[in-house]
Structure 1
Amino acid sequence: MSKLESSDSSETEQLIDEDDEQNYEEALLQKLSSTRYQLSVMGFLGFALIYSFRINMSIALVDMVKQPAAEKSGPANKNCPVWNKDTSSQNNDVGTFDWTPKEQANVLGAFYYGYMVAMIPAGYLATRIGGKQMYGLGIVLTAVLTLLTPAAAHLGIWWLIILRGLEGITEAATFPAFHHLSGRWTPKLERSIFASMTLSGSFFGNMITQPIIGYLCTLELWNGWPLGFYANGLLAIIWYVAWCFLVYESPDKHPRISERERNYINSQTQIDDDKPTAIPWKSILTSLPVFGIVAAHFANNFMLYGMMSFLPLYFADVLNFDIASNGILSALPWVSVFIGTLTAGQLTDLLRSRSLVTTTFARKFNQVISTFLPSIFLLLAGYAGCDDIKAILFLAVGMLFFGAAGSGFYCNNLDLAPQFAGIIYAISNFFATLSGFLAPLIVASLTEENVHSSVLWIHAFYVFAGVSWLGGSTFLLLGSGELQAWAVIRNG
């Protein structure tokens, strides 16, 4: 080849590379500026607020309630070394309220009673009123109740319990409503990415709420603990204003969407909101793939709610680990699940878009990863004994794999029946919320004899592993990634 030909070839290759790079940048810019991307960002922030509503009470309760002096002195577990505990930042050693442990449990549990009772009616209303209205109202009404929390606490514990139950009712609308909305906005090959991005907001909220609320509780203003509720509520109201202006029920109703994006989404979702459709209750309730989702959802929430409730207790009672003084390490499992959720979504839809895996395989594989591996690492953490760092690292690695559930059962209802995604999620979440009661009760009963015994805690971990494996195996047998016949919209 002559030098001239070689030079021409190099210039041509360079031009091709520049064109590919320009096309990629244009495609990326187009995607980031799309209306469905705006929806996913608003959903991410909304779910972060939703989970902050859930856990702010459990964090603030430590400073709200008077603690017996015996609980503040000496290590919990005499067999493990004690981490340096910094008590200089604690604002209120005596607390404000004299509530028993049972009363505190009622305050925390009241949310889940309201949440479970309202779940299926909320899912039904989302199909009739619309996902935008139900999701937005669910968050802003919970925000108003959150702002009233300090006042309710001062009025009396039963006022607070009633208010927390109402918060559960208002928040019950959010997840089914957003799934209903997702069915109208998410193209087939973007479902894993979209679902994992929005779901990761839940873990992001869990990750940042603990240190922020913990810091606010140390301030002297109003005794510290009410500040978290006020900040949480005000941020949610600001979010709601943005939600009202930026989000619309469907591509056809969005005034600023491009014609190209509207046509693309409508061709992929196969949903026609101009034709009211009766909910096929019998088909949904007798569907084996829906049973698979219910089993996987229960197992997922059993592990998630269990980690949220027992992890701080395990750190304190067995490892003598002070969460307040070691915030970064204690938050590591939640950082891991946040990263794992986003990574699994990107990889799953990349493989699906290149036809390397079927949707059914992708959903089952992700669910197996998110149920079997975290359970193994949970058991390894239990057998780590007093090795704090090793135990936390095992938990962090396990929660990294746990994030794959966002591309497993969590978005599977969009595959089966995008038109009825909200109601399917409401049904599965109704049963999954039972784990919010069962997981803490099982831990309490198994460790009641000696809460500081690592052996008894390992027994509890085996229960969590067994539930996870059973849920994952059921989904593996019954799950499907195909659009169901009863969910197909008939023309004419």
Structure 2
Amino acid sequence: MDPPKMFKDDKSGCLKFDRITIINKRFTLSFLMNIGFTIMFCGITLSHVNRCLMSSIDPADRSFFHASSYLLGLVIIQIPAAWCSLKFSPITWFGRSILLYSILLFVLALFSFFVEFRSYGLLVAYKFTEGVVSGTTFVVFHAAWKNWTPSNERSTFVTFAIGGCFLGDLLGELLSKYCSELLYWEYLSGLLGITGIVWWLLWKNMVYETPEKHRTITEKEYNKIYPSIQQELDITENVTCKKIIFSMPFLVLVVVNLLRSWNSAFYLYRKEHMYIILIIKAVTFPIAGYLADVLVRQTSMTITRVRKLYISGIFLIEVIYFLLLRYCEEFDGWLYFSSFVMQVLHIAAFTAASVNALDIAPSHAGVTIAIINIISHIGYQVPFKIELYLYENNWLDTFNFISIMAHLIGGIIYGIYGSAKPITVKKL
């Protein structure tokens, strides 16, 4: 355990802009992570299909292989990134990942003559690199919070930071809509790259690995979070990865993330309403996380019960929704509107599942989220393939039945075996 932090009254030697960080150091960390994710996912969205880069490639050469290369890069980097999160500073590596991606964007703008060659292979290689960098960022992001959030505040700060992913998607969609009308779209890439480099300069000077190392954290904030965080880390840091992987809470979380992929029936909204859905995601994610912590602090509900309310409760509501879709011949106005409500609930359940990976193994959060990401991203491809096959054979009712059973089973399993208690080593 680190020694107690000694506070001094005189802080005149501190960097000036480090003293004006917003509200407290935990929110500063979450806010900067949110901006970092926004920059990254805005760039990723811009380079997906029908985006800026694709506008320069001959339509005959286009395919979805570049999207698959992004997924491949994201998946294969998970285990190395998890190892990195255990051996090195995840805070440092998060900043480096955003910096690397920002440099990649700037270089892409600087050498935009690549696009003039109309080379689809270069786009595939670029997307693969994006997948590697973003996959690393997401793993070390989860690991970085072990020293900064007590369990009763974890949802608030983690979900606010991840909300930047959805905000980046929204900005990327809006910017890509006008790419063909821009004389030089590479200006967008260069501007994002420069913004990311400026972000890294702020990150390097305003963020520290632990509260103990932070030079300007107040004594009040330090005493509020440090004892509970250290107590939680002390009982979990000696847990082996093998014990975590084969523990019941982790296996249940993996199953839940797989079963929640059977949700394509939510997408009833029209294409022109896509921006509304992106706004819903960007707003709902942090609010749902904040409300979860409010329930823990203001009521008698434990963290485990709140997670079960979000995951099991919403899964069962989704079962009812699927049943309504199954027996409604046409989409009435209220049913179409309900699809937006279900998106809100679906995102709320996603917040609980995301934070639960930190709940059960705060010292090894990079490992838990890496394995979940691998299984989830591969598993998500299965329902779409099955739905396509069943649709071609006019067996769509079968897919709806599978979706109902998947959410019903997922809700029941997590309600019985799900937990937010940290996995610990039993004392002899």
**TM-score when normalising by structure 1:** 0.72
Match in the other structure for 1:55 = 45
Deviation at 1:63, TM superposition (A): 7.9
Could you list the per-position Cα deviations for residues 86-122 of structure 1 after superposition, in whole angstroms to 9, with x for gaps in the alignment?
Answer: xxxxxxxxx642345xx52101111111101111210
User: 1:441 & 1:227 partners in 2: Cα distance?
Assistant: 38
- SS in structure 2 at match of 1:425: helix
Q: Which amino acid aligns with 1:257?
A: I
Residue 6 of structure 2 corresponds to which residue in structure 1? none
In the other structure, the counterpart of 1:189 is 152
1:482 aligns with 2:426: no
Contact 2:245 2:368 in 1 (8 A): no
| Residue 395 of structure 1: how far off its partner (Å) | 2.4
User: Pairwise mapping of residues 58-207 of structure 1 onto structure 2 (< 5 A)?
Assistant: 58=48, 60-61=50-51, 64=54, 96-100=57-61, 104-147=63-106, 148=108, 151-155=113-117, 156-207=119-170
Aligned to 1:221: 183
Moved more, 261-270 or 272-281: 272-281
State the one-letter code of the partner of 2:361.
Answer: A
CA distance in structure 1 between the aligned counterparts of 2:425 and 2:407, rounded to whole angstroms: 29
Q: Tell me the equivalent position of 1:253.
A: 213
Q: 1:271 to 1:212 in 2, by over 3 A?
A: farther
Offset at residue 197 of structure 1 (A): 1.5
Partner of 1:25: none
Percentage identity across aligned positions?
Answer: 23
Q: Are residues 55 and 379 of structure 1, via their aligned partners in 2, closer, same or farther at CA, if it must alter by over 3 Å?
A: farther
Coordinate RMSD, CA, aligned: 3.6
Worse-matched range after superposition: 406-415 or 285-294: 406-415
Question: Which amino acid in structure 2 is aligned with residue 280 of structure 1?
Answer: T
Q: TM-score, normalised by structure 2?
A: 0.81
2:43·2:172 contact (CA, 8 Å) conserved in 1?
no
Deviations 1:7-53 (A, max 9, x none): xxxxxxxxxxxxxxxxxxxxxxx995110011111122223234324
Q: 1:438 to 1:369 in 2, by over 3 A?
A: same
The answer on whether the counterparts of 2:152 and 2:303 sit within 8 Å (CA) in structure 1 is no
Contact 2:261 2:383 in 1 (8 A): no
Kindly state the Cα deviation for residue 184 of structure 1 after the two structures are TM-superposed: 0.9
Of residues 377-386 and 240-249 in structure 1, the stretch that sits farther from structure 2 once superposed is 377-386
* Residue from 395, 402, 407 that aligns with 2:346: 402
CA shift, 1:221, in A, is 0.6
Paired with 1:178 and 1:376, the residues of 2 have a C-alpha distance of: 35
2:426 and 2:33 mapped to 1: Cα distance? Answer: 25
From the superposition, tell whether residues 251 and 477 of structure 1 become closer, same or farther in structure 2 (CA, over 3 Å): same
Structure 1 residue ranges without an equivalent (≥5): 1-29, 66-94, 316-320, 450-454
Counterpart contact for 1:195–1:406, Cα < 8 Å = no
The equivalent residue for 2:16 is: none
Q: Is the 8 A contact 1:336 1:400 kept in 2?
A: yes
1:42 to 18, 28, 32: 32
* Separation in 2, partners of 1:52, 1:456: 37
Structure whose CA Rg is larger: 1
| 2-structure distance, mates of 1:201, 1:186 | 18
SS of 1:202 mapped into structure 2 = helix
2:319–2:404 CA contact under 8 A, matched in 1:
yes
TM-aligned CA deviation for residue 391 of structure 1:
6.2
Letter in 2 for 1:482: K
SS of the aligned residue for 2:170 comes to: helix
Aligned residues: 405
Inter-partner Cα distance in structure 1 for 2:319 and 2:40: 26
Matched, 1:266 2:226: yes
Inter-CA distance 63–41: structure 2 relative to 1 (3 Å threshold): closer
Q: Is the 8 A contact 2:74 2:134 kept in 1?
A: yes
Q: Amino acid of the residue matched to residue 133 of structure 2?
A: T
Q: Residue deviations 1:328-369, cap 9 Å, x none?
A: x32222222333323322222122113421111111111124
Equivalent position amino acid for 2:78 in 1: M
Q: Which has the higher contact order (CA 8 A, sep 6+)?
A: 2
CA distance in 2, matches of 1:420, 1:130: 13
